[in-house]
A and B are shown apart, each in its own frame.
Chain A
Amino acid sequence: MERGEVGAQVRSAVDGDAAAWKALVEGLSPLVWSVVRSHRLSDADAHEVYQTVWFRFAQHLGRIREPDKAGSWLASTARHECLKVLKSMRRLTPTDDPQLLDRVSEDRTPEQSLLDLEEADAQTERIRHLWQEFEELGERCRQLLRVLMASPPPSYQEVSAALGIAVGSIGPLRQRCLRRLRARLEARGAV
């Protein structure tokens, strides 16, 4: 999705256009998901934070000052909500909504997804190795790369809002982290 359309979609959604809202969700939910997953939350917490972010966005829609930067607004809101959940050391009882739990369990586990892959074993193996090495990167690199993995790729403005780091530092950090990841892959002979 062209990020340039976001401002117009927000304005249409404010006027009650459900299709524009749906387009916003389609375009920006991968970003919200990436930001949430870049923080070390349990799956249940991640699911709840994701929802809270969208509920708050729907609620504040008509009051967002810079509609063109809705992606940054969502990324920043997701970050703050993640940090807050991490900070509330002892949450109330986890969700006992059986409906939601059932729905969640319908999702494919990573293992199932890999089994579903019909490509050659070699590629499956490569993705598995890549993911393992990514997971073992230092926390900061893991976090940055997980946000960058959103599809479509986030702008550096959005990454900045997602992680609370200066826009100017993202490029060099990205390079550093990707090099580190590549070195890990080379070390295990997976390149």
Chain B
Amino acid sequence: MGDMSDVNGEESFDGGESFDGEDLGLDLLEEELRRGAAILDPLPAELRRIAVEAFVLHDLDARIAELTFDSVVDAIPVRGAVDVPRMLTFHAGGLTVDVELSAQGLMGQVLPPQTARVEVLRGLRATAPLTTDDMGRFVYGESPAGPFALRLRTDEGVLVTDWLTV
């Protein structure tokens, strides 16, 4: 995806050496594009505001549970299968959080099984905390579309999973 070598395979009119003044001309053209982007494809002010507000997510006390498996990236797709749930695994120290996302919602399990309070973070809003059952399982009956993370409060402290886009 990041390979740009196919540029070489396109038209050949631009293969010549650069000449005096050309670089300046190209700089001006780039500057003009920059002005064009500012008018035609600007960063929406609302998104800038959300990024400023995101500072509340900076929490030195919370441990991060890193995403170590994401079926979107790590699994081999099953031919013809539709509506396959997305499987995620997060790790922090000896603790694992398995999550299964589908259009119906979210099912998760904290391992080793333990009591934890789980909040589903959707953008800058958190849902009312869920409590895991004695198998460490929890269920959230809504599809968390958009930016998503989980915040868990266990006996050992607060844990937040890596953010991802659902």
Q: A residues bordering B, Cβ < 8 Å?
A: 13-14, 16, 18, 21-22, 25-26, 29-30, 32-34, 37, 45, 47-52, 54-63, 79, 81, 83-85, 87-97, 100, 103-104, 106-107, 110, 113-114, 117, 127, 130-131, 134, 138, 140-141, 144-146, 148-151, 153, 163-165, 169, 173-183
Give chain A residues whose Cβ lies under 8 Å from the Cβ of B33: 130, 134, 145, 148-149, 181
B interface vs A, CB < 8 Å?
1-4, 6-7, 10-11, 13-14, 18, 23, 25-26, 29-30, 32-48, 50-52, 54-60, 64, 70, 72-73, 77, 82-83, 86, 101-103, 123, 143-147, 149, 160, 162-166
Distance A150 CA – B35 CA, assembled complex (angstroms) = 10
Q: A21-B58, A45-B165, A54-B54 are in contact. Are A113 and B40 (CB under 8 A)?
A: yes
Q: Evaluate contact between B165 and A84: CB separation under 8 angstroms.
A: yes
Which of A59, A91, A110, A117 lies in contact with B166, CB distance below 8 A? A91
B55 pairs with A58, CB closer than 8 A: yes
Q: Interface centre among B3, B7, B23, B32, by most A CB within 10 Å?
A: B7
> Do residues B163 and A47 form an inter-chain contact, with CB atoms below 8 A?
no
Question: B7 touching A92 by the CB < 8 A rule?
Answer: no
Residues A127 and B36 in contact, CB atoms below 8 Å apart? yes
Interface centre among A51, A87, A89 (most CB of B within 10 A): A51
The B contact surface, by secondary structure, is mixed
Report how far A87 CA is from B72 CA in the complex, Å.
7
User: Beyond A58-B58, A117-B39, A183-B14, is A29–B51 a contact (Cβ under 8 Å)?
Assistant: yes
A173 to B30, CA, bound (A): 13
CB nearest to B15 among chain A residues: A176
- Whole-angstrom distance between the Cβ of A159 and the nearest chain B Cβ: 11
With both chains docked as a complex, state the minimum distance between the C-beta of B153 and any C-beta of chain A, in angstroms. Answer: 16
Q: Is the CB of A93 within 8 A of B145?
A: yes
Q: A26–B6 Cα gap in the complex (Å)?
A: 35
Given A47-B44, A52-B147, A59-B160, A176–B57 Cβ distance below 8 Å? no
A55 near B13 with CB under 8 A, answer no
Asked if A33 contacts B145 (CB within 8 A), the reply is: no
List A contacts of B26 (CB < 8 A): 174-175, 178-179, 182
Residues of the B chain whose Cβ atoms lie less than 8 Å from the Cβ of A169: 4
Question: What 8 pairs across the A-B complex have the smallest Cβ distances?
Answer: A164-B2, A179-B14, A58-B57, A54-B51, A33-B43, A149-B37, A88-B72, A178-B26
Q: Select A84's contact among B11, B25, B72, beta carbons within 8 Å.
A: B72
The answer to whether A151 and B38 touch across the interface, beta carbons within 8 angstroms, is yes
The interface residues of chain A lying within 8 Å CB-to-CB of B60 are 14, 62
Which of B29, B42, B45, B146 sits near A48, CB closer than 8 Å? B146
Most chain A CB within a 10 A radius of its CB, from B14, B56, B59, B101? B14
What are 5 A-B pairs with beta-carbon distances under 8 A?
A84-B72, A107-B42, A175-B18, A178-B26, A179-B14
Complex Cα gap A60–B164 (Å)? 13
Closest B residue to A110 using CB positions: B40
Contact of A107 among B11, B44, B77 (CB under 8 A): B44
Whether B46 pairs with A103 at a CB distance below 8 angstroms is: yes
Q: A107-B44, A176-B7 are in contact. Are A92 and B166 (CB under 8 A)?
A: yes
